[in-house]
Structure 1
Amino acid sequence: MGLLLMLLPLTFAWAAGQLTFAVARTPMSLPIYVAEAEGYFAAEKVSVRIVDCAFGKACLSELLNGKAALCTVADLPIVLASFTTDRFAILATLAANRNDAKIIVRKGDKIRSAADLSGRRVGTAMSTSAHYFLDSAALLAGIDPASMKVSNLQPEDWSAKLQSNEVDAISAFEPYAFNAVRALGSDAVVLPTKRIYTLSWNVVATRGILGDEEHQLDGVLRALDRAVRSIQSDPARAKMLLKSKLGLDDAAIEWMWPDLIFGLWLDQSLISTLEGEARWAVRGGHAHGRLPNYLHFIHEGPLRAVKPGNTAIAR
């Protein structure tokens, strides 16, 4: 009976042949929005129910709690979850962003670089890519991340907390970074930082759907591949959809668009990123135990079926 109760939520995530897809409200999720709007999922004979999440970490929680069969999530939440469970697998990287996270301060506070954050109050969302970016920027600037007074905030609160002087800085990912810069106006300063890493935006599946239901995953990736090609061939149309879906205006879209890379792929750089983040997590006390083998978390079958030339994982 206990096993049955444990399986019920997982079954519900793809009940009656419908896949629940937990999708974070970020421009990097654009191919999913396009596939839904243009009917590409239906054309591939897969029924997909999209549920919104504020950010990728929350989407992965939906999947691990049995409320979704698929989710979008960045690399760092994958790493932190991998220390406690292997009930999920990465199907493909859907997008990448070379400049997603930013450290934002107020002009009057005389914070000129990440080195000035020692002893300062910094808001971020713990255990997310913005948190990893903050620690990495601090180390590159020559300060101990522990010297910062970091508080865990919800992304939707970042801008208000910085405006009200409750924190001295925020480490924010998009679109929340843009919202904070706009809200502060001429008082906003984005600290100069080297491009620390390229964030990967991934499609992850619960392991319970692998195997017997794998044909549906092929259909999902085919639909997303069509969506990516649509974005590349008609970016203006894609931008209009992004505006309506996320409530963004032209200024927000143009701020973020140059850094976005859309596609469907799996390559060795993802493994390298996951391994580097895992070492950071252990050193910082964010995770405990032996480093996972991230090859175990890669499921290449559906992508090989759809884009056989887009997998480059060394095993």
Structure 2
Amino acid sequence: MLKHHSPSTGRPTKIAVVLVVLLVITFAMGSCSPGGYPGPVESITFGTVLLEPSLPLFVAENQDFFVGNGLNVTFKIYDVGLNAATGLVNGEVDMASPVAEYVMVGKIFDSRKIQAIASIDKVDYAFVIGRKDHGIEKVSDLKGKKIGVVRGTILEFQLGRFLELNGVNPADVTFVHGTLPQSASAIANGDVDAVMSIPPFTTSIQKQLGTNAALWSAQNIQPFYSLVLADAEWIKQHPKTVERFLMAMKQAEEFIINHPDEAKDVLRNKLNFSDEETARVWAQNQFLLSLDQSLILAMEDEARWIIANDLTTEKQVPDLLDYIYVDGLEAVKPNAVNIIR
């Protein structure tokens, strides 16, 4: 005798199980990076500037390297690295870059608990530009002149050093402090005799002055380091976040090296640079992730200069190694760490 089976009561149960699994997967995908990072996405507020040393950041954003490492990065734009660093110490952002090493030394003297986790660029692009119609043909002619420069930045330090190396006492010139755009306007209008500046402002100044411009490279082949800074306590609480950020920077570095044409497109689109200006960037910048002993030596030199010029009440150079966090970069790119400890 045949037995008649009633519809299986297991079918609805299987469907329910499948739905639960799908819901779990959907939730997991929504809380993880779409780029493949298996953990939760973490948000970072990042202070930066719209200048060429920021290219690794632009590339990481453009190529989704941040997203791929589980980071949701929101940029807050400042005019110069000094103000980005000030935003960091004021709690406006979690990290800041590019910040010149001189600015970091100044913050250290101000007793700020910050650390550098890497340099993302080394650049030699600062120039002193003088007006020939103001009697400036050679560096010694800068004596007694007014020179526009941004206060508290590495440009002010490098201007002082440039003058000293060329036999001009900085006390014998007048520093006129203003923003980069203000300095550019001041020399174009003849309100100052010279300026210490960087691209793209130096490019526009040269075009405006034409043959009336006297031009000198001001860095004496000493590059500026474009540092990534964060609060020391924040780093202590977010060591894996630091590693993921540095992995995104490593990927950006490799992209710039292996895909220069695409990287140049990123720069042109972000900063509205011409082909000529973009070619100059590649000649003057080294977009490499690093922590070098030469960075420490530069910072020590700048600290001594700050002390000698009474720009701090401190009398001793601090132990700058206390302000360098090497663990993150050692985990991501160990051969990029060359600091003697």
For residues 137-184 of structure 1, give each alpha carbon's deviation from its aligned partner in whole angstroms, at most 9, with x where no partner exists. 110111211110111111111211001111000001232222222232
315, 319, 327: which one aligns with 1:293 = 319
Does 2:243 align with 1:218?
yes
Query: Larger relative CO (CA 8 A, sep 6+): 1 or 2?
Result: 1
Match of 1:54 among 79, 98, 111: 79
Superposed displacement of residue 192, structure 1: 5.4
**Residue 76 of structure 1 corresponds to which residue in structure 2?**
102
Structure 2 CA distance, aligned partners of 1:301 and 1:193? 34
Partner of 1:102: 127
Asked if 1:257 is matched to 2:276, the reply is no
Q: Is the 8 A contact 2:264 2:278 kept in 1?
A: yes
Corresponding residue for 2:140? 115
Aligned residues: 299
Unaligned segments of structure 2, at least 5 residues = 1-40
Equivalence for 2:67: 42
- Shift of residue 300 of structure 1? 0.5
CA distance, structure 2, for counterparts of residue 208 and residue 146 of structure 1: 40
User: Are 1:305 and 2:337 matched, yes or no?
Assistant: no
- Aligned ranges for residues 214-253 of structure 1 at < 5 Å? 214-253=239-278
Taking the aligned partners of 1:303 and 1:291, their CA distance within structure 2 comes to 25
- Among all aligned residue pairs of Structure 1 and Structure 2, give the percentage whose two residues are the same amino acid: 26
| Structure 2 residue identity aligned to 1:231 | I
The whole-number CA distance in structure 1 between the counterparts of 2:195 and 2:233 is: 38
- Cα distance in 2 for partners of 1:220, 1:269 equals 23
Runs (5+) with no aligned partner, structure 1: 1-15
Does the CA-based 8 Å contact 1:222-1:306 persist in structure 2? yes
201-210 or 187-196: bigger deviation:
187-196
- Residue 186 (structure 1) shift: 3.2
Aligned twin of 1:88: 114
> In structure 2, the residue corresponding to 1:86 is in which secondary structure?
coil
Give, in whole Å, the separation in 1 of the partners of 2:295 and 2:217.
Answer: 25
Could you tell me whether the CA contact under 8 Å between 1:218 and 1:306 is conserved in 2?
yes
Would you say the 8 A contact 1:102–1:171 is kept in 2? Answer: yes
Does the alignment pair 1:278 with 2:285? no
Query: Matched residues in 1 for 2:151 and 2:205: separation?
Result: 18
Q: Which moved more, 1:112-121 or 1:274-283?
A: 112-121
Q: Which 4+ stretches in 1 moved above 6 angstroms?
A: none
SS at match of 1:68: coil
- 2:172 is matched with 147
Match of 2:294 in 1: 269
* 3-state SS, counterpart of residue 48 of structure 1: strand
Aligned counterparts of 2:218 and 2:187: Cα–Cα separation in 1: 19
2:209 corresponds to which residue?
Answer: 184
2:11 matched residue in structure 1: none
User: Contact 2:126 / 2:218 at 8 angstroms: preserved in 1?
Assistant: no
User: Does the 8 Å CA contact 1:158/1:180 hold for their aligned counterparts?
Assistant: no
Structure-2-length-normalised TM-score: 0.84
Structure 1: distance between partners of 2:111 and 2:323: 10
2:219, 2:106 → 1: CA distance?
24
User: 2:154 is matched with which residue: 129, 147, 169?
Assistant: 129
Shift of 1:260: 0.5
